Amino acid sequence: MNYNILAPAEPLRTSVRLPASKSISNRVLILNALSYSAYEVQNTAECDDTEVMLRALQSNDIHFDIRAAGTAMRFLTAFLSKIVGEWTITGTERMKNRPIKILVDALNSLGARIEYMEKTGYPPLRIYGSALQGGEVSLPGNVSSQYISALLMIAPLTEKGLVLHLEGTVISRPYIRMTLQLMEEFGVKAEWNGRTIRVKPREYTPVPFTVESDWSAASYWYEIAALSKGSEIELPGLLRKSTQGDSAGALLFNRLGVGTTYTPHGVLLKSNGNTCKKLVYDFVNEPDLAQTFVVTCVFMDIPFRFTGLQTLKIKETDRIEALKTEMRKLGYVLKDASDSILEWDGERCTPEADPVIATYEDHRMAMAFAPAALKLPGGIRIADPEVVTKSYPKYWADLKSGGFRIVESGTLNDES
C-alpha cells in the first residue's frame, strides 16, 4: 500500500497532541521493572517499540519476538541477563542483521551467559539469566548509546556495580544523560567524569512516573512549519527543560525560519522567514533528527553539511544510503563521506516521473519525507506508510487534522 500525501491549500493552523517520548518510556519501563514497582508508568508511548517492551515485561513467556524494536532488543538483552531463567529473544530479518556483539561481549564479561542462536554477533540470542558480578568494562564511545544505556540500567543491581570506560569520541551524549537522569529519579546516582561512568551497587526506589511528549515527533511539525509559510502549530506537552536530546531541534530550526514560543501548555511554532544560507551541523548528539533536516533543507533550497552521522548506518536501515537513494528519485544529489558525513551543495538531477519514496521498514523515512508534499504540486507518494506505528501511530491522522489529504494508491477518494 502507498499513500499519496497532498498539501493543504492554506497555511496550517493546528494543535497536535504528540505521542509520549519513546526513549523515556522504554527506559522508565525497564527501571520500573528493576525497582519491582507497584506503580504503573503513566502516559507511555503508544507505539510498536513500547508495546513490545510492555508485552515482554508483563509476559510469563520465555521466548520474546521484539520485531523491529532496536531499543527493546538492547534493553531487554541486558535486563534478561540478570533475571534468573533461560530466555530467547529474536526479531525481524532486519533485526537479525543489526549488530549486538559489543553489548553481548560486555554483558558476558560482567558475568552474563549469552549465546548466539544463528549468526555470531547478531540476534537471535539465548540468554541464561543469573546474578551478575559486575566490574569494569570498556566500550567504544561511538557505538549506539543504547548499548551504554542497557548496561547502565542494570549496573546498580550487580554485585560490584559497574565502572564503564568509554573509549574515543563519545556520541549521543544526551541519550546517556537521559538514562542517568532517569536512574537518579529512581534513586540511583551515577558519577560521570570524563570518559568514565561509575555506578555503585544499590537498589532502585519505586516512584510514580508520567512520560512527557516526544521531541523527536515534534521535529516533523517543525519541518512542516519551515516548509509552510504563515503556519502556526501548537504542540502541547513539550517541556523547555526536557531530558530529551532532540529538544535541541528547536534551536536548530530557528536557523531555518521557525520560531519557538514556550507556553504553560507546550510550544507554539511560527514560521518567520529568517533562514540561513547554508546549514552546517554536527548531529552526533541528535542522530534521529538527521532525516528531518535533510528533507527540510533540500526543499528550502538550503545547502547543508551534516556530520556525526555514524550511527545512521546501523539504524532500522542504512539511513545515509536510504536518503541518497530517495532524494535522487526527487531530483537531488546528496553525497556522503567517511560513513558519517552527508552533504548537499545544490546539485540536481532529473527526477523520476512518478517517484514512490521507499521507507525501508524505517518510520523516520516515512515521517521525514511526507511534509515534502508542501513543495511538490502533485504531492508525494510514500510506500508502506504503516511503518509509522513504530513510534507515532497517529501521524497520518494528525496530518489530516492539520489539512493534508491522504489518498491510498489506486483509489480516487480521500482516505478519510
Provide the annotated active-site residues: 288
Residue 314 parent element (H or E): none
- Strand, coil or helix: what is 223? helix
Q: Under a CB-based contact definition with an 8 Å cutoff, are residues 278 and 302 in contact?
A: yes
Rg (CA), the chain: 21
Q: What share of the chain is helix, strand, coil (3-state, %, to 5)?
A: 35, 25, 40
Q: Under a CB-based contact definition with an 8 Å cutoff, are residues 44 and 212 in contact?
A: no
Number of H helices, E strands in the chain: 12, 20
Question: In 3D, which of 276, 282, 294 has the Cα closest to residue 335?
Answer: 294
Joined together, the cell numbers standing for residue 25 give 518510556
Residue 327 parent element (H or E): helix 319-329
Residue 140 parent element (H or E): strand 135-140
Pinpoint the alpha helices (H) of 126-243. Answer: 145-154, 173-185, 215-227
| Residues 392, 171: Cα–Cα separation, whole Å | 25
Q: Under a CB-based contact definition with an 8 Å cutoff, are residues 136 and 165 in contact?
A: yes
Joined together, the cell numbers standing for residue 62 give 520465555
Q: DSSP letters along 95-107, please?
A: GGGS--HHHHHHH
Alpha carbons within 13 A on the beta-carbon side of 56: 30
Angle at 150 between CA 146 and CA 153, to 5 degrees: 130
Phi-psi group of 85: left, alpha or beta (phi > 0 → left; psi -120 to 50 → alpha; rest → beta): left
Joined together, the cell numbers standing for residue 107 give 554483558
Pinpoint the alpha helices (H) of 10-162. Answer: 22-34, 48-58, 70-81, 101-109, 145-154
Q: Using the structure block, give the residue that is written with the C-alpha cell 546474578.
A: 131
Q: Using the structure block, give the residue that is written with the C-alpha cell 557505538.
A: 143
Neighbours of 361 (CB within 10 A): 18
